[in-house]
Structure 1
Amino acid sequence: MNRVRIRDLGISIGRYKTGQYNAITDISGVMVGHTTLSYKGAENRMIQTGVTAILPHSGSLFQEKVMGSSYVINGFGKTVGTIQLQELGVIESPILLTNTLSVPAVMEGTIRYLLDQNSQIGDTSGTVNVIVGECNDGYLNDIRGLHVRPEHAYQAIQFAKSGKVEEGCVGAGTGMSCLGFKGGIGTSSRVASFGEQSYTIGALVVSNFGEEKDLRIPAGGRLHRAGEEEEMPDGSIMIILATDAPLNERQLGRLAKRATFGLSRTGSYAAHGSGDIVIAFSTAHRVPHEPDQGTIPYSFMREDGKWISQLFEMTVEAVEEAIWNSICMATTTEGNKGRVREAIPYHILFEPTCKGGMLT
């Protein structure tokens, strides 16, 4: 059976409508690209890993930055670039996602891409802040082999496109596990009217958290199956949020916090070793690298009404559905050391378990 998204199974998350692609690329200008590494290497080691790139727009991000923020749900992670993001409130590079030990290689590849695009970086205008996030795919991937190289990051950026987004076992999601099943890349979006305007929220995740016992079934309750579950590392998740709503960096920080609730609805409790990081940006304004005036006028959404709360709810729904899409679209994957991570059987999404007449 071909893998499908959770909405294709007849399960709708929340009350807001989705965008055209039900993806982060429903925000105009946003593009996503993957480089996937899936093969058997030396000494029968399985390489199941990759890189995913998210571009806020198709122009020069260094010259025309977007406003952004980040939020740490649980800080057991190795994300780079978020310190400057929080200090200055702008994103000036593609956002790259990969496995934990490949962050340095991906950072180098992204820097090389930006150097090729901007001759003044490191010369006449200082350096550039690259943002790279990660999850640990070492259960299925030969993570010690350091198979992701700088050119794979470069390629993921070059492969980035708008429209439909590949999900499941692709890019940074190739070797990930989630809630006892195969995880990976997932995305979703929400659209709503705000007066005479319409704004969109998009989410993209790399899901790699939780055990089967944690999974909250959309039909209600938790899954309880016979047999002992294999003990897994706590895992992690990277959540990228995009919007075309005119939000400043402080408001984007508030938006990023709300991703926590979408994550928790699927069963996560941000375990000790789970690195749960959110990065949010708005495409509504461009921030020039070299302004030609002393002040730059911007307008932002008001916060004393229901609009900002509406965006918060849209964010929660998009994150929850993106996580489910990452699981539903993933295929059974053979990993390193003979390990196998099974795709989720769709039927269990409709069958909450009852014990002693009580829904659990």
Structure 2
Amino acid sequence: MLRLVLLALAATLAAHAQPSPEADRPRARDLGLAVGILPPGPLNAITDVAGVRVGHATVVEGDAVRTGVTAILPHGGNVYAERVPAAVAVGNGYGKLLGVTQIRELGEIETPILLTCTLCVWRAADALVEILLEQPGMEEVRSINAVVGETNDGVLNDIRSRPVRPEHVAEALGAASGGPVAEGSVGAGTGTVAFGWKGGIGTASRALPATLGGHTVGVLVQSNFGGVLTMNGAPVGRELGQFAFQQALGESADGSVMIVVATDAPLDARLLERLAHRALAGLARTGAAFTNGSGDYVIAFSTDRDGDALVPNDAMSPLFQAVAEATEEAIYNSMLRATTVTGHRGTIESLPLDRVVEVLDAYGVRGWDRSLPPGRE
């Protein structure tokens, strides 16, 4: 009964949702900012991995609440009954990633992955458990390892009010679908800040050619961290005068990022942990420094549940390249698509696109894909 009530509330919220302003802002490739050497999937999103679904609930209330929930589902079935292999990598452990020890112990996840704000983790997890327990076939279940990650959006969001409610979790789960993924100031990225500008949700993918295994790797990020923004090697933060440890701005380097990696490659927990660690290479390329107060986490899972013919160790390198590139590009997308937001403690501006393009052109980093040989697919 509770699940039906929550889903009804979610449908009502979705029916009154406003068009996303992010539609007017470009992704990285719209600006000619092509990251790396591997081709993206058709959507350049985590949903290029067949079966993966993403849904958002954006929570904007009054002048101070700017937060939300983002749900990532490995497949369209009951994840508890049809678990997928998974692993976690930690760049810096200043965070509240719920469910991490059981993932590490068993090498699998048994619930959708939720992302939200720091002080909403437990409320989101409680709602997720309530919803799952109401599903058919779950009547005898007595233990659920809810997987919930977070970043601290307390600049734009009145985080102490802990505004995420069960209907928001139900909305995100109910909205989860394949296809294009909304990015920027939506869902769990509604109130986030990255490199001093507006952060948010971003996604990207890489589709390996058949000669390198033919597998797909997709990444979704919740960006909310500091450092010196670098885009394809161009020092954007430095050139625009906004970067960590700059005394005149009082800019802090702390913050957090959640990175979710999906792949259809047949990987077990050990191989997925290796893959998750390489996502941190992509994070580092954007100018992050994994500072003391930054919770930098990667959750990686495979949608291939058979595990009959695992990718051998010496064939993992193309997947490593893919996840690093997709993570880097997903972070750029999270910021480029984000809009200026005014909230609890002021206004955080979005990246100034014209000035960013000027810096990218000054360093000659746009259009790199045009120099690559044909036939990468």
User: Given the two structures, how large is their TM-score scaled by the length of structure 2?
Assistant: 0.84
Question: 1:125-150: per-residue Cα shift (whole Å, max 9, x none)?
Answer: 43111100000000000111111112
Partner residue in 1 for 2:185 = 169
Does the 8 A contact of 2:267 with 2:311 survive in 1?
yes
Partner residue in 1 for 2:42 = 20
Specify which of 310, 328, 334 is matched with residue 300 of structure 1. Answer: 310
Question: After superposition, where does 1:174-213 map in structure 2 within 5 Å?
Answer: 174-195=190-211, 198-211=214-227
Where 1:224 maps in the other structure, the secondary structure is helix
After TM superposition, give the deviation of residue 161 of structure 1 in Å.
0.5
Does the 8 A contact of 2:86 with 2:299 survive in 1?
yes
1:17 and 1:226, CA in 2 relative to 1: closer, same or farther beyond 3 A?
A: closer
After TM superposition, give the deviation of residue 193 of structure 1 in Å.
2.4
Partner residue in 2 for 1:89 = 107
1:195 and 1:225, CA in 2 relative to 1: closer, same or farther beyond 3 A?
A: closer
After TM superposition, give the deviation of residue 195 of structure 1 in Å.
4.0
Q: Identify, as 1 or 2, the structure richer in helix.
A: 2
Does the 8 A contact of 1:217 with 1:350 survive in 2?
no
Amino acid of the structure 1 residue aligned with 2:273: G
Does the 8 A contact of 2:132 with 2:138 survive in 1?
no
1:344 aligns with 2:351: yes
Where 2:303 maps in the other structure, the secondary structure is strand
Output the CA distance in 2 between the equivalents of 1:218 and 1:348: 15
After TM superposition, give the deviation of residue 351 of structure 1 in Å.
3.8
1:226 and 1:158, CA in 2 relative to 1: closer, same or farther beyond 3 A?
A: closer
Partner residue in 2 for 1:239 = 259
Amino acid of the structure 1 residue aligned with 2:222: V
Q: Name the Cα RMSD after superposition.
A: 1.8
Gaps spanning 5+ residues in structure 1: where?
287-296, 354-360
Does the 8 A contact of 2:196 with 2:251 survive in 1?
no
Gaps spanning 5+ residues in structure 2: where?
1-22, 243-247, 361-377
Specify which of 214, 239, 246 is matched with residue 224 of structure 1. Answer: 239
Question: 1:144-201: per-residue Cα shift (whole Å, max 9, x none)?
Answer: 1111112211221111000000000000000000011100000000001244952100
Output the CA distance in 1 between the equivalents of 2:31 and 2:212: 33
Does the 8 A contact of 2:66 with 2:157 survive in 1?
yes
- Number of matched residues? 332
Output the CA distance in 2 between the equivalents of 1:278 and 1:73: 8
Specify which of 56, 59, 69 is matched with residue 34 of structure 1. Answer: 56
Output the CA distance in 2 between the equivalents of 1:81 and 1:131: 5
Question: Which structure 1 residue ranges, 4+ long, deviate > 6 Å from structure 2?
Answer: none
1:10 and 1:85, CA in 2 relative to 1: closer, same or farther beyond 3 A?
A: same
Where 1:52 maps in the other structure, the secondary structure is strand
Does the 8 A contact of 1:95 with 1:131 survive in 2?
yes
Specify which of 315, 324, 328 is matched with residue 320 of structure 1. Answer: 328
Partner residue in 2 for 1:290 = none
Amino acid of the structure 1 residue aligned with 2:224: N
Question: 1:240-293: per-residue Cα shift (whole Å, max 9, x none)?
Answer: 00000011110000000001110000000101000000000000116xxxxxxx
Partner residue in 1 for 2:28 = 6
Where 1:272 maps in the other structure, the secondary structure is coil
Does the 8 A contact of 1:50 with 1:171 survive in 2?
yes
Output the CA distance in 1 between the equivalents of 2:166 and 2:270: 33
User: Given the two structures, how large is their TM-score scaled by the length of structure 1?
Assistant: 0.88
Output the CA distance in 1 between the equivalents of 2:136 and 2:229: 45
1:131 and 1:85, CA in 2 relative to 1: closer, same or farther beyond 3 A?
A: same
Percent identity reads: 46
